[in-house]
Amino acid sequence: MSTVLLEVENLSKDFGATRAIDELSISLPRGEVTSIIGPNGAGKTTLFNLLTGEIAPTSGEIRFDGDRIDDRSPSELARLGISRSYQINNFFPDLTVLENILIATQSEDAGFGPADFLGSRAASPAARERAADVIDTVGLTDVTDQEASLLSHGQQRHLEVALALALNPELLLLDEPTAGMSPDTTAAMKDLLGRLSTEYTIVVVEHDMEMVMEISDRVIVINRGSLVASGSPTEVKDNEAVQRIYLGGTTA
């Protein structure tokens, strides 16, 4: 088994005259936590959307476990073992935590949507067990039967991660998991990512530099769609080109 799980080679993405990703090549080892950082407009969200199949590249290749995936849809990628969390709320607000997770678990079957959901009691014992595991992992067991809309902001962000975990991924892509969180809930998310890092390969786009430095095995810095630096948090922090980009500032 190769140590490299995800490879990006000469990847470019143009939006009209804007080149958002410019001949980018990176490779992500299996089992590591990689954070992607860069200043506003650097191309982080575009790269994330390319990795998750939301948009197609203009040129270049993305490979997962050796196979090309740059022409695959998000649901095909989910079946291959790549799942993502969203910055925006991606759950059904009127359904409970358990019901949301059960829908995500079953949505691996093509075309399955909330209208096909017969209720949590109709779910198979295996699906219920998987859902309970995922809910326990993210620390939402106490609110299993609460409507998602009634959860706190921090709990809703944890539910977003749980939805990605419900698909049983190998690679977990997290889009700003601590966006808008208080220091307490940020600490809870940091704990969760620490626990998940023993089981999954994780890619995070994150603005909270303290968190990036704490949770990452590797940090990839991009600017204007190109690679600026890649290495351990300390290597990247000490890199002159990185320091120039951030002009001594501490936020992404």
Ligand X SMILES: Nc1ncnc2c1ncn2[C@@H]1O[C@H](COP(=O)(O)OP(=O)(O)OP(=O)(O)O)[C@@H](O)[C@H]1O
- For the record, the structure tokens of 125 come out as 């014992």
Using the rule CB under 6 A, is 15 a contact of ligand X?
Answer: yes
Residue 146, burial from CB neighbour count under 10 angstroms (0-12, 13-18, 19+): middle
Using the rule CB under 6 A, is 42 a contact of ligand X?
Answer: yes
C-beta closer to ligand X: residue 39 or 233: 39
Shortest reach from residue 45's CB to ligand X, in Å: 3
Member of 40, 121, 125, 198 binding ligand X (CB under 6 A): 40
Using the rule CB under 6 A, is 84 a contact of ligand X?
Answer: no
Shortest reach from residue 22's CB to ligand X, in Å: 10
C-beta closer to ligand X: residue 15 or 133: 15
Rounded CA gap, 154 and 145, in Å? 17
Shortest reach from residue 4's CB to ligand X, in Å: 24
Shortest reach from residue 21's CB to ligand X, in Å: 8
Using the rule CB under 6 A, is 53 a contact of ligand X?
Answer: no
69 to 1, 25, 220: CA distances (angstroms): 18, 15, 21
SS3 assignment for 20-42: EEEEEEEEEECCCEEEEECCCCC
Shortest reach from residue 179's CB to ligand X, in Å: 10
Rounded CA gap, 211 and 204, in Å? 10
Q: Within 10 A of 177 (CB to CB), how many other CB atoms are there?
A: 25
Member of 11, 44, 91, 209 binding ligand X (CB under 6 A): 44
Q: Please answer whether residues 102 and 117 qualify as being in contact, where contact means their C-beta atoms are separated by less than 8 angstroms.
A: yes
Using the rule CB under 6 A, is 52 a contact of ligand X?
Answer: no
Using the rule CB under 6 A, is 249 a contact of ligand X?
Answer: no
C-beta closer to ligand X: residue 55 or 132: 55
DSSP-H helix ranges across 94-239: 97-106, 125-137, 153-165, 183-196, 209-215, 233-237
C-beta closer to ligand X: residue 166 or 221: 221
Q: What is the dihedral of CA 228, 230, 232, 234, to 10 degrees?
A: -10
Member of 6, 11, 20, 189 binding ligand X (CB under 6 A): 20
Using the rule CB under 6 A, is 43 a contact of ligand X?
Answer: yes
Using the rule CB under 6 A, is 180 a contact of ligand X?
Answer: no
SS3 6: strand
> Which residue ranges make up the site for ligand X (CB under 6 A)?
15, 18, 20, 38, 40-46
